[in-house]
Amino acid sequence: MSVHKEFKRITTHALQAMKARGERISMLTAYDYSMAKILDAGGVDVLLVGDSASNVMAGHETTLPITLDQMIYHASSVVRAVERALVVVDLPFGNYQGSSRKALASTVRIMKESGAHAVKMEGGKEIQESIERVLSAGVPVMGHLGLTPQSIYKFGTYTVRAKGEVEAERLIKDAKLLQKIGCFAIVLEKIPAELGKQVSEMLDIPTIGIGGGQHTDGQVLVTHDMLGITKDFHPRFLRRYANLFDTIKEAVEQYSTDVKNRDFPSKKEQY
């Protein structure tokens, strides 16, 4: 399958150009070197070192426990693998809410220690100061509105956000604000498709949807979900492109059987 590869290296400006000419942006999460190498070779435009690593890599129920040091470890592994994709790193919970100084200090550590290209923060007006301080240091910021998993205990559930008029109006206001202060893109998570369309048409910067409908300028999925490595997560927005859980399990079963039957290693597989 061929993918569009006009850009040798994806920059925030390349994403802007893609939106301007109506080319959709593909984004996936990545947390380690080997997978990032495959995803980059597959031509995905943006790799997000998401704090969803807390769920899929570490097995936590929420994204809250992951630390800055752990995010830097994941991010530096991804950066070492990538030749083309833009690498964006989530600022973990507690590193920007309430302190713009901490937001900048954490961002500086991410940029220096991992070599990533941009950071992402969840929220609108309430984190404006943190976003502005990071931007003023010359670091590109991706916004994230709608379902923001770091606030899960405030929401109480992972259901669709901004279905009502008041919340939708607030999201629209926040999206305009994020564009105005200089974010280069915004993730829209789990919102009605009509709202995703309205926000995407209203903004000049790209929107990247996850459960945000067909009209956002790009799409993002958690790689472990779209490859079927995770099994017990079935939101409507998720399309599975492989069933790697079963593929890997079958390979492991075969290996185990071969070892027990003294079939592996064979004479040809030894020195």
Does 50 sit near ligand KIV (CB under 6 A)? yes
Interacting residue with ligand KIV among 91, 186, 210, 226 (CB under 6 A): 210
β-sheet bridge partners, residue 141: 119
Q: How far is the CB of 229 from ligand KIV (least distance, A)?
A: 14
**Contact call for residues 31 and 49 (beta carbons, < 8 A):** yes
- The DSSP-derived string for 206-265 is -EEEESS-TTSSEEEE-HHHHTT---S---TT------HHHHHHHHHHHHHHHHHTT-SS
Does 51 sit near ligand KIV (CB under 6 A)? yes
Does 116 sit near ligand KIV (CB under 6 A)? no
The region of 7-15, 47-55, 224-232, 263-271 touching ligand KIV under the rule CB under 6 A is: 47-55
Does 36 sit near ligand KIV (CB under 6 A)? no
Does 217 sit near ligand KIV (CB under 6 A)? no
164-183 residues near ligand KIV, rule: CB under 6 A: none
Residue 94, SS3?
coil
Interacting residue with ligand KIV among 26, 52, 77, 230 (CB under 6 A): 52
**Which residue out of 189, 194, 201, 269 is catalytically annotated?**
189
Does 40 sit near ligand KIV (CB under 6 A)? no
Q: How far is the CB of 243 from ligand KIV (least distance, A)?
A: 21
Q: Helices 165-181 and 193-202, interaxial angle, to 10°? A: 30
Does residue 253 carry a catalytic annotation? no
Interacting residue with ligand KIV among 72, 131, 142, 220 (CB under 6 A): 220
Does 219 sit near ligand KIV (CB under 6 A)? no
Q: Between residues 49 and 81, which has the closer beta carbon with respect to ligand KIV?
A: 49
Length of the chain: 271
Tokens representing residue 130 in the block: 């943190």
Q: How far is the CB of 87 from ligand KIV (least distance, A)?
A: 13
Q: Counting beta carbons within 10 angstroms of the beta carbon of residue 60, is it exposed (0 to 12), middle (13 to 18) or buried (19 or more)?
A: middle
**Residue at shortest CB range from ligand KIV:** 50
Q: Indicate the residue type of 210.
A: I
Interacting residue with ligand KIV among 10, 12, 25, 29 (CB under 6 A): 29
Q: How far is the CB of 166 from ligand KIV (least distance, A)?
A: 24
Q: How far apart are CA 24 and CA 29, in angstroms?
A: 17
Q: How far apart are CA 12 and CA 86, in angstroms?
A: 8
**Contact call for residues 3 and 42 (beta carbons, < 8 A):** yes
Q: Indicate the residue type of 57.
A: M
DSSP 123: B
Residue 139 has a CB neighbour count (10 Å cut-off) of: 18
Q: Between residues 30 and 244, which has the closer beta carbon with respect to ligand KIV?
A: 30
Which residues are designated catalytic? 189
Contacts to ligand KIV by CB under 6 A: 29, 48, 50-52, 90, 187, 189, 210, 220, 222
